[in-house]
Amino acid sequence: MGLDVGTTGCKASLFDEGGSLLSSAYMEYPLEQPKLGAFELNPQRVWESVRRVIADVILAVPGVNVRALSISSLGESVVPVDQEGNVLGNAILYMDPRGLEQAVILEQRIGKKRTMEITGVPLHPMFSLPKVMWIKQNQPELYDRVWKFMMFGDYIAFVLTGICVTDYTLASRTMALNISSKAWDSIMFEAAEIEMEKFPDLIPSGQPIGEVRRDIWQALGIQSTTLVIAGGHDQACAALGAGILSDNQAVDGIGTVECITPAYRSPILGPKMLEHQFNCAPHVIEGLYLTYAFNFTGGSLLRWYRDKFGQTAEAEARKLGISVYDYLSSSAASEPSDLLVIPHFAGSGTPYMNPEAKGTIHGLTFDTDSTHLYRALMEGVTYEMRYNLECLEEAGIPIRSLRAVGGGAKSDLWLQIKADIMNCPIEKLDVGEAGTLGNIILAGCASGVYRSYEEAVHVLVKPVRMFYPNQPNQSLYAERYEKYKALSSAIASIY
């Protein structure tokens, strides 16, 4: 079984040893906003949702024996838990501004360059350490009662087993892990004035944590021998689920956020990594490292179009019995658009990381219609990700092929646009949820179902189609990409 615990919902999927999906369940949960601009997640509500999706997938397959399960989760946000295992409050989410002043303190005490050299992440208030500093300074009574600050994956594993540990990939999202030694770093904790003992012990992804507790398995209907296996950060698990096992490979996760995740052999911590605000994180596979190059808009930009301008398209799609996105793709302009879309509708991701950035649609004329705009939205996101590929190469992380997963990978039109703009082959995979599949691989290898990650990937990860750059579109896009960069640079100066 694979569990994926996200910011807005959780999913459980059950596979047999041959890789066939037996059952799956998903449940959403709301974010909480105690005041304007604040964003929190209720850990108890998350656990209740996880409990229900596990129960649902078990009920769908009567008599099933779950040999092992593994968990992927969002990063950064930590759950405050006391010595008795009680949750003391909500988790502050990564987009919450709390921690901004504390990040400034860390910059004064350590500096951005040294923080990157130690932790592999650019100094930023989104990470756990500044958030915990905020709790200590503003909620000292709560802080004093905390036994452990757990990531969400850690917390769910703790509820299931009674054992508190965290893996390296989630630990790297705290901004307190030494990326070279894979140990908690005393310099970071001392600068933050936080006790290292308040964070969990460290273990590698794929290592057994323990068996599901008796009271839990009786309530859930899981076998008493079910092993809980250390999982990882959702993007790292998605990389494994896409079969990213060697250098120069990367997964392009086209979800709400688009994220390109390449793998490489040893930590890369040079000045270009800091300049472009890339991270260096452990892979769930020992001996490999990952970087997350991302844009906050991916599929969410197409959803924005659907919600604001797609009423007619939705009605036509219902008549034809197809999804609205399939309809919009089929009716999109057949040739590259003259429009240039800067896709910073929710601020910019790497390499800018500017929350004040805004989206732009440039080149509108009286001849512009909805078919041009829809294609231009796909192109704009892809131009932005091509720039990320160039920045990755500057930093010493060249990418020669991409594997596409996520909801956006269902669009053949978008994948061909990507191949043409990026001038890079794009391989489409038959993978519904790469993060959950990564959990399945971790659980299957740890429990002896598969002898190696390579064998598991061979069984579970199934390529569907390869998209290659085509002329004349590749040359047209190369010219328009240069205009895109000039436009993006000019607009950036405004913000």
Is there a domain that residue 44 lies in?
A: yes
pLDDT (0 to 100) of residue 256: 80
Asked if residue 420 and residue 282 are part of one domain, the reply reads yes
Q: Mean pLDDT lowest for which of 4-18, 128-142, 203-217, 385-399?
A: 4-18
Asked if residue 346 and residue 212 are part of one domain, the reply reads no
Is there a domain that residue 452 lies in?
A: no
Asked if residue 403 and residue 367 are part of one domain, the reply reads yes
Is there a domain that residue 90 lies in?
A: yes
Instruction: Decide which of 199, 218, 236 is a domain's last residue.
Output: 236
pLDDT at 94 over 80: yes
Asked if residue 307 and residue 223 are part of one domain, the reply reads no
User: pLDDT digit string (tens) for 418-443?
Assistant: 999 999 999 999 876 788 889 999 99
Asked if residue 247 and residue 232 are part of one domain, the reply reads no
Whose tokens are 């290292």? That residue is: 196
Residues 372, 145: Cα–Cα separation, whole Å: 57
User: pLDDT digit string (tens) for 118-174?
Assistant: 999 999 999 999 999 999 999 999 999 999 999 999 999 999 999 999 999 999 999
Q: Residue 149 is part of a domain; what is its CATH number? A: 3.30.420.40
Asked if residue 222 and residue 165 are part of one domain, the reply reads yes
User: pLDDT digit string (tens) for 110-134?
Assistant: 999 999 999 999 999 999 999 999 9
Asked if residue 51 and residue 149 are part of one domain, the reply reads yes
Which structural domain range is residue 470 located in? 243-430+462-495
Instruction: Decide which of 181, 207, 236 is a domain's last residue.
Output: 236
Q: Are the CB atoms for 47 and 38 separated by under 8 Å?
A: no
